[in-house]
Amino acid sequence: MKKNLMIGLLISGLFIYLALRGININDLAASFKEADYLYFIPVILVIVLGHYLRCYRWGIILESLVKYDQKRLFAIGSIGFMAVSMLPARLGEFARPYLVKQKSGVRMSATMATIIVERVFDVLALMVLMFMVLVKIDLPPIIFNTGITTLSVAFAVLLVLIFLAVKKDFSLNTIDIIVSKFPTRLAKPLKHLAHSFIEGLQILPDIKKTLYVSLLSFLIWIVIGSSAYVLFFAYGFKLSLINAFAITVIVALGVMLPAAPGFVGTYHFACVLGLKSFGIAKATALSYAIALHFLQMMPVIILGLIFLPFQKISLPGMIKNEEKEMEEEGLEG
């Protein structure tokens, strides 16, 4: 945990420096002063809509393991996404599996498989959005190349996950044969982990649900891009919705790097890089990046903190127990 935090802080520190380099602080302050803060209200509403859609989509992916009503899904999802925002190196991704285990007894490795499926669909939808952008505007080569690499990896992972889910019996038998070569003390927990993980992939053989999740994933990124577009008006940018989608793609690729809690630094540098390529002054671009980051993080964190007391756990306790729960997953049997 401490090692991940240190790495994240170092990476964030580097990108904060790059984002701030060459900026006149007076120009940055003037940009904040000139922004029309009334536009923050619709931006927040759009962001909350996107958050609700994320929770709803996860519920569909999770149905093969356990079915929750929308109220509980929204509560667990809010706490989980809050943890992702507040913990370094995406350690918060373990929060939702932990909460599902606490509520329903489903193994964390099974729920973690649904998180991986969710992330793969996110990347694929994001890449569709990127190709829509490329029809209209040219992205910097580093962004295009990173996007293509990310798409290739995500597509390969999806194919592997689909194979594991569709050929469930074959996959389980193969895994059993492989792990049987290990010492019994190690083989039993590995077998339990692999079996429960594959159980968490069982949405993928359902073509109708898979297509529905794909559509929802694309819609989620359209909503996220729309929040960036609405904020353009607060700063008087003469940029289009396609420009907002481009910023969304660039930022999403940027925050895939390990970073400090809240993706500080990587988020801001990526956003500034994109806006500068559209002719926005660096100080104004950074002001916009800080505002957009704040508006996208705060509603999710506030919602998570609101629902946290009703789960009868504390945030420090959840963080402390995540690693313990994961260790238990590997020691059970």
> pLDDT of 243-295, one tens digit each?
999 999 999 988 887 777 788 899 999 999 999 989 999 999 999 999 999 99
pLDDT reading at 320 higher than 70? no
pLDDT reading at 325 higher than 70? no
Q: In the numeric block, which tokens belong to residue 61?
A: 């992916």
pLDDT reading at 321 higher than 60? no
pLDDT reading at 302 higher than 90? yes
pLDDT confidence band for 88 (50 / 70 / 90) = low
Higher pLDDT, residue 8 or 181: 181
pLDDT reading at 5 higher than 70? no
pLDDT reading at 317 higher than 60? no
pLDDT confidence band for 176 (50 / 70 / 90) = confident
Q: What is the pLDDT of residue 312?
A: 64
In this structure, the dihedral spanned by the alpha carbons of residues 202, 57, 84 and 263, taken in order and rounded to 10 degrees, is: 120
Q: What is the pLDDT of residue 101?
A: 85
pLDDT confidence band for 179 (50 / 70 / 90) = confident
Helical axes 241-254 vs 108-136, angle rounded to 10°: 140
Mean pLDDT to the nearest integer, 137-160: 82
Q: What is the pLDDT of residue 118?
A: 92
Instruction: Let me know: does 189 contact 330? Beta carbons within 8 Å.
Output: yes
Full residue range of the structural domain in which residue 19 is found: 2-331
Higher pLDDT, residue 136 or 317: 136
Higher pLDDT, residue 20 or 190: 20
* Number of structural domains in the chain: 1
Q: What is the pLDDT of residue 85?
A: 85
Q: What is the pLDDT of residue 136?
A: 83
Q: What is the pLDDT of residue 330?
A: 46
Read off the pLDDT of residues 161-174 as tens digits, 9 standing for 90 and up. 889 888 888 988 88
Q: What is the pLDDT of residue 326?
A: 47
Quickly tell me which residue has 């919705």 as its tokens.
Answer: 241
Read off the pLDDT of residues 30-78 as tens digits, 9 standing for 90 and up. 999 999 999 999 999 999 999 999 999 999 999 988 999 999 999 999 9
pLDDT reading at 90 higher than 50? yes
Instruction: Let me know: does 67 contact 81? Beta carbons within 8 Å.
Output: no
What is residue 37's DSSP assignment?
G
Read off the pLDDT of residues 198-252 as tens digits, 9 standing for 90 and up. 888 888 888 999 999 999 999 999 999 999 999 999 999 999 999 999 999 999 9
Instruction: Let me know: does 285 contact 228? Beta carbons within 8 Å.
Output: no
pLDDT confidence band for 322 (50 / 70 / 90) = low
Number of residues written out for the chain: 333
User: Which of 183, 179, 212 lies closest to 197, judged by CA?
Assistant: 179
Q: What is the pLDDT of residue 331?
A: 43
User: Which of 136, 283, 292, 282 lies closest to 228, judged by CA?
Assistant: 292
Q: What is the pLDDT of residue 49?
A: 97
What is residue 66's DSSP assignment?
-
